């Protein structure tokens, strides 16, 4: 094992994984190992089992529509949440943002009669502004996002309650055209679902293929290294929060279109579901890895569980417990996999020849050119 | 010393003059001077703490200098951030890895400047091909697609090098790039470095391995205690001259340990091993003795200490206190066996900085002070008072928060906390780091007194004068192994430095490195 200079097959040493796989094989391997596939299969299994119990869960015209449209709000929030979590932050204020923007949507319809697209834009704009507040506080205040957004969760909810007072928006306040959006379908796919999927696709594509998207992952993977590397951490984190807020604003508009009414508890606790969806979908809570695709599948799974378990005759308490168990299982799974990988790599490193001081052998320390560059005397 | 510009007329690529940088009260860099010509490789050498890495971070824009001149290609520059220095053509390989573990190797190399295809989308194929081309040039095979997580330190270092080379920089600074590399990899790195030099680029090379410095570099600048010492063409100097300049410091400002009667074996470490961190570590410490663990930063000294105390687990070997085995991996077991551990990072690991002095001192013995499960401030004060007085902690009152104190007094509070447990063995990591010179000698006198009272002390220190002044015996750690054991008489700055850098100097090192170094020192 000890290394002699000039011995020919150079101990290249590095654990080599040359790209001997064809691109198709590599893609297949990536897909097979992905969390997205695993969670997707769980979702599929859930749907199949539930449908076998009650076929209208999928095949009834209402069942099909609910199955597709119900997750759309949570998908929007989970996408925004993923972008924030990837940077090693978290946004707990999105539930309150949703409530506030939903109420704004209703109020604009009641008070102004602005056309629906303008109202939706206003909701997105308010959401983005609230996200900007979070982003500024986190990026410049150097306080953990968990604390900042926990604070703004209450502040935004408080603003909502103060503004709304005892008012509530009801379906009769909302133009029929907008409410129709909640039930409209295109090729038997609900329009809200299509919009959510378009948002998902755009954000997912951007995160994967744009420099700025990859920088978000770099920042979350090691913020210190990102700063040393010269990435603009402050700006990227700020924009991630703005996006999360804007998507929560869009979700607020969706909420009005879907449910028609906005009461003071609109969006209450939904931020935790968004975080849970991301975690179940394989987004690492310490940042740096995970995809919006996974988070969206996670969101769909969470929403579908809520409607499937009653069909399966499982009690309310157990429904919550199942969601909790899923989140715990996802986290435990991540932890087990990563420790196992770390241990394997540590052992592999020890066994590599020519690196560092190999254990157990009295090999000389690594610097080898010593003999031919004798220095002193 | 040459003037501001090269005799040939072309401006120096890098010119630093009397650059200073302080962190709080600690001056990490007093007057750093470094002049690097285009088309040359310039070595920067000095002990741990000589200010090399601080100098590098000033060049990179991580830190902003407090004073001094900084010119790049003849123009005055002021980098506010690393992105500015990068834009100006400076590439830096830092001592600590700066990789993103979750991202692919190729993305790590090209982050922020990935090749773009249509519509500004990242062209992954070109990125992977570009990485493969860089690795070919370095003669290594790393899959550009694999994540950086789990790569060995050597591979990480190679990726850092590939990253720096790909920046096409006019100035490339490498802070100990070879520390983890094997001989073949070092040779390839040197070939690449020489070709970059021949292209007219300037390189700064920081290394503790003198063979490498002499094999690669054209000029060498020596630093000591944050100050510039000398610059010479490499052909006009020798290893001995450089070592003498690196350590040539008066030891008089240190309180030398007074000899104390050496008693029974207190700590007996046998064959301690932790995969990938340290190997086959065996040593004994007797009552009244100060044993120093010397070596370079990252050699594994702190890791050994943490394993002995029980903070970290180990794979094989045993730790015995006063003849009795200590259960591994449990600090509580270490404390009960009579160990005390003062960690390197006082603020993070040794102190509750916001707590009062009394609370800090009483922290470890809390279990003994409580009455029916309640701990009163009065009991804490009563227990803390005598120790604070004995160690001359300078403070107005025991209920002052620890954060208001100077580094030296904080260190005393940490010491008082552990001494209150009446330990038999004190492990102290970097006892005077970040402490001003005046208080340093107080800490030294304190340690000497404690040894005189029969305490066995293991001291980890990166400061050579401290090691030489305080230690009865010096164990030199190099890359996770004890490579030399030197008595007080044998322990000279040169001998410790040679063992710590793994450099053989005159005799080629064969067989067991430990015995080889010891023989060489005795010869």
Do the domain assignments include residue B160?
Answer: yes
Per the structure, the count of domains in chain B is: 3
Do the domain assignments include residue A1?
Answer: no
Per the structure, the count of domains in chain A is: 1
Question: Do B315 and B184 share a structural domain?
Answer: no
Per residue in A158-211, pLDDT tens? 999 999 887 888 888 888 888 878 777 788 788 899 999 999 999 999 999 999
Give me Rg for the CA atoms of chain A. Answer: 26
Q: What is the pLDDT of residue A180?
A: 79
Q: What is the pLDDT of residue A41?
A: 87
Across residues A132-157, what is the average pLDDT?
A: 91
A354 near B151, Cβ under 8 Å? no
Question: Do B181 and B88 share a structural domain?
Answer: yes
Tokens 């979070």 locate to A134
Report the C-alpha gap between A262 and B263 in whole angstroms: 80
Q: With 50 as the cut, is the pLDDT of residue A3 above it?
A: no
Do the domain assignments include residue B348?
Answer: no
Please tell me if residue B112 touches chain A, with a CB cutoff of 8 Å: yes
Q: With 60 as the cut, is the pLDDT of residue A9 above it?
A: no
Check A370 against B211: CB less than 8 A apart.
yes
Do the domain assignments include residue A205?
Answer: yes
The last residue of a domain, from among B247, B264, B299: B247
Do the domain assignments include residue A282?
Answer: yes
Q: What is the pLDDT of residue B366?
A: 57
Check B240 against A5: CB less than 8 A apart.
no
**pLDDT-based confidence at A354, cuts 50/70/90?**
very low
Q: With 90 as the cut, is the pLDDT of residue A149 above it?
A: yes
Domain ranges, residue B397: 355-421
Cα torsion A15, A20, A22, A26 to 10°: value is: -20
Query: A 180-219 residues with CB below 8 A of B?
Result: 209-211, 214-215, 217-218
Do the domain assignments include residue A12?
Answer: no
According to DSSP H, which parts of B199-338 are helical? 210-216, 239-247, 301-309, 331-336
Do the domain assignments include residue A366?
Answer: no
Please tell me if residue B352 touches chain A, with a CB cutoff of 8 Å: no
Check A221 against B103: CB less than 8 A apart.
yes
Please tell me if residue B176 touches chain A, with a CB cutoff of 8 Å: no
Question: Do B414 and B427 share a structural domain?
Answer: no
What length is written for chain B?
523
Q: What is the pLDDT of residue A10?
A: 36
Strands B425-429 and B473-478: what pairing?
unpaired
The last residue of a domain, from among B194, B228, B247: B247
Chain B residues in contact with A5 by the CB 8 A cut-off are: 183
Check A369 against B62: CB less than 8 A apart.
no
Q: What is the CATH number of the domain that holds B199?
A: 3.40.50.300
Q: What ipTM goes with this model?
A: 0.77
**pLDDT-based confidence at A254, cuts 50/70/90?**
very high
Question: Do B177 and B52 share a structural domain?
Answer: yes
Token duo for residue B50: 């000589």
Q: What is the CATH number of the domain that holds A94?
A: 1.10.3470
Q: What is the pLDDT of residue A90?
A: 94
Question: Do B323 and B382 share a structural domain?
Answer: no
Do the domain assignments include residue A54?
Answer: no
Q: What is the pLDDT of residue A366?
A: 37
Report the C-alpha gap between B134 and A275 in whole angstroms: 40
- Cβ contacts below 8 Å, chain A against chain B, sum to 205
Question: Do B468 and B446 share a structural domain?
Answer: yes
Closest CB to B504 among A220, A359, A370: A370
Check A221 against B143: CB less than 8 A apart.
no
Question: Do B375 and B276 share a structural domain?
Answer: no
Q: What is the pLDDT of residue B435?
A: 66
Per residue in A282-322, pLDDT tens? 888 888 888 999 999 999 999 988 888 888 888 878 878 88
Do the domain assignments include residue A88?
Answer: yes
Phi/psi of residue B426, nearest 5 degrees: -115, 120
Question: Do B79 and B50 share a structural domain?
Answer: yes
Question: Do B182 and B298 share a structural domain?
Answer: no
Q: Which residue ranges of chain B lie beneath pLDDT 70?
A: 1-9, 25-26, 48-49, 96-97, 179-180, 182-183, 248-256, 345-408, 434-439, 502-523
Domain ranges, residue A98: 59-344
Question: Do B311 and B166 share a structural domain?
Answer: no
Per residue in A14-53, pLDDT tens? 444 444 556 677 777 666 667 788 888 888 888 888 888 8
Do the domain assignments include residue B5?
Answer: no
Cβ of B129: how many Cβ atoms within 10 Å?
Answer: 14
Do the domain assignments include residue A270?
Answer: yes
Question: Do B177 and B35 share a structural domain?
Answer: yes
Q: What is the pLDDT of residue A12?
A: 39
Question: Do B441 and B412 share a structural domain?
Answer: no
Report the C-alpha gap between B2 and B15 in whole angstroms: 11
| Chain B residue closest in CA terms to A371 | B508
Q: What is the pLDDT of residue A375?
A: 34
Please tell me if residue B315 touches chain A, with a CB cutoff of 8 Å: no
């Amino acid at each position: 094992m000890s290394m002699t200079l000039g011995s020919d097959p150079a101990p290249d040493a590095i654990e080599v994984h040359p790209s001997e796989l064809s691109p198709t094989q590599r893609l297949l391997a990536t897909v097979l190992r992905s969390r997205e596939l695993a969670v997707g299969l769980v979702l599929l299994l859930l749907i199949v089992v539930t449908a076998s119990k009650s076929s209208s869960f999928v095949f009834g015209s209402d069942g099909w529509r609910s199955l597709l449209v119900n997750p759309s709000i949570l998908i929007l929030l989970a996408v925004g949440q993923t972008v924030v979590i990837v940077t090693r932050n978290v946004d707990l204020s999105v539930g309150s943002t949703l409530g506030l923007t939903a109420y704004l949507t209703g109020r604009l319809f009641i008070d102004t009669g602005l056309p629906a697209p303008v109202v939706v834009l206003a909701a997105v704009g308010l959401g983005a502004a609230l996200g900007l507040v979070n982003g500024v506080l986190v990026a410049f205040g150097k306080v953990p996002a968990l604390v900042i957004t926990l604070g703004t969760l209450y502040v935004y909810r408080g603003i909502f309650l103060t503004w709304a007072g005892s008012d509530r928006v009801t379906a009769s306040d909302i133009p029929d055209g907008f409410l129709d959006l909640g039930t409209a379908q295109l090729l038997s796919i609900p329009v809200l679902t299509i919009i959510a999927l378009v948002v998902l696709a755009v954000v997912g594509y951007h995160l994967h293929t744009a420099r700025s998207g990859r920088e978000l992952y770099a920042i979350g993977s090691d913020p210190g290294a990102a700063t040393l590397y010269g990435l603009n951490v402050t700006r990227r984190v700020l924009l991630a929060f703005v996006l999360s807020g804007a998507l929560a604003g869009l979700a607020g508009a969706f909420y009005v279109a879907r449910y028609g009414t906005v009461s003071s508890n609109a969006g209450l606790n939904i931020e935790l579901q968004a975080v849970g969806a991301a975690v179940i979908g394989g987004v690492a809570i310490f940042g740096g890895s995970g995809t919006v695709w996974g988070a969206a599948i996670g969101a769909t799974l969470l929403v579908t569980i809520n409607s499937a378990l009653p069909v399966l005759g499982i009690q309310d308490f157990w429904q919550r417990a199942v969601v909790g168990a899923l989140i715990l299982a996802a986290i435990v799974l991540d932890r087990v996999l990563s420790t196992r990988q770390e241990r394997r790599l540590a052992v592999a490193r020890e066994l590599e020849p020519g690196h560092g001081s190999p254990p157990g052998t009295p090999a000389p320390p690594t610097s080898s050119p010593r003999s031919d560059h004798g220095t002193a005397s | 010393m040459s003037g501001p510009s090269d005799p040939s007329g072309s401006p120096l690529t890098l010119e630093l003059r009397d650059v200073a940088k302080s962190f709080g009260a600690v001056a990490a860099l007093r007057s750093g001077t470094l002049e690097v010509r285009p088309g040359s490789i310039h070595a920067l050498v000095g002990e741990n703490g000589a200010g090399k890495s601080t100098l590098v971070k000033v060049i990179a824009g991580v830190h902003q200098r407090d004073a001094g001149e900084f010119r790049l290609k003849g123009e005055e520059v002021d980098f506010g951030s690393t992105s500015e220095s990068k834009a100006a053509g400076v590439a830096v390989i830092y001592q600590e890895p700066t990789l993103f573990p979750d991202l692919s190797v190729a993305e790590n190399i090209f982050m922020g400047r990935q090749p773009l295809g249509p519509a500004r989308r990242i062209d992954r194929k070109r990125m992977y091909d570009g990485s493969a081309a860089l690795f070919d040039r370095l003669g290594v095979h790393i899959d550009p697609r694999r994540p950086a997580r789990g790569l060995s330190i050597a591979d990480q270092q190679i990726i850092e090098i590939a990253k720096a080379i790909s920046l096409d920089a006019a100035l490339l600074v490498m802070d100990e790039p070879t520390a983890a590399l094997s001989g073949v990899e070092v040779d390839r790195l040197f070939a690449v470095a020489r070709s970059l030099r021949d292209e007219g680029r300037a390189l700064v090379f920081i290394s503790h391995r003198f063979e490498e410095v002499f094999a690669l570099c054209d000029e060498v600048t020596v630093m000591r205690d944050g100050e510039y010492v000398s610059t010479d063409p490499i052909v006009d100097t020798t290893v001995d001259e450089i070592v003498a300049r690196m350590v040539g410091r008066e030891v008089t400002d240190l309180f030398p340990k007074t000899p104390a009667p050496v008693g029974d074996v207190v700590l007996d470490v046998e064959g301690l091993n932790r995969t990938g961190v340290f190997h086959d570590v065996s040593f004994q410490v007797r009552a009244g003795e100060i044993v120093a663990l010397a070596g370079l930063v990252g050699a594994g000294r702190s890791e050994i200490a943490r394993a002995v105390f029980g903070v970290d687990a180990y794979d094989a070997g045993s730790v015995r206190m006063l003849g009795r085995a200590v259960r591994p991996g449990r600090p509580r077991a270490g404390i009960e066996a009579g160990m005390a551990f003062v960690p390197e990072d006082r603020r993070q690991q040794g102190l509750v900085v916001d707590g009062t002095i009394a609370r800090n001192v009483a922290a470890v013995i809390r279990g003994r002070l409580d009455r029916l499960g309640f701990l009163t401030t009065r009991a804490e004060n009563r227990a803390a008072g005598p120790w604070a007085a004995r160690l001359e902690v300078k403070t107005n009152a025991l209920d002052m928060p620890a954060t208001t104190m100077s580094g030296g007094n904080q260190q005393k509070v940490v010491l008082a906390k552990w001494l209150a447990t009446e330990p038999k063995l004190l492990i102290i990591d970097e006892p005077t780091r970040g402490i001003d010179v005046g208080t340093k000698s107080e800490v030294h006198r304190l340690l000497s007194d404690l040894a005189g009272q029969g305490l066995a002390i293991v001291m980890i220190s990166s400061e050579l004068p401290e090691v030489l002044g305080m230690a009865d015996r010096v164990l030199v750690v190099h890359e996770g192994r004890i490579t030399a054991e030197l008595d007080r008489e044998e322990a000279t700055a040169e001998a410790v430095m040679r063992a710590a850098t793994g450099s053989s100097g005159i005799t080629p090192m064969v067989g067991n490195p430990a015995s080889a170094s010891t023989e060489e020192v005795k010869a």
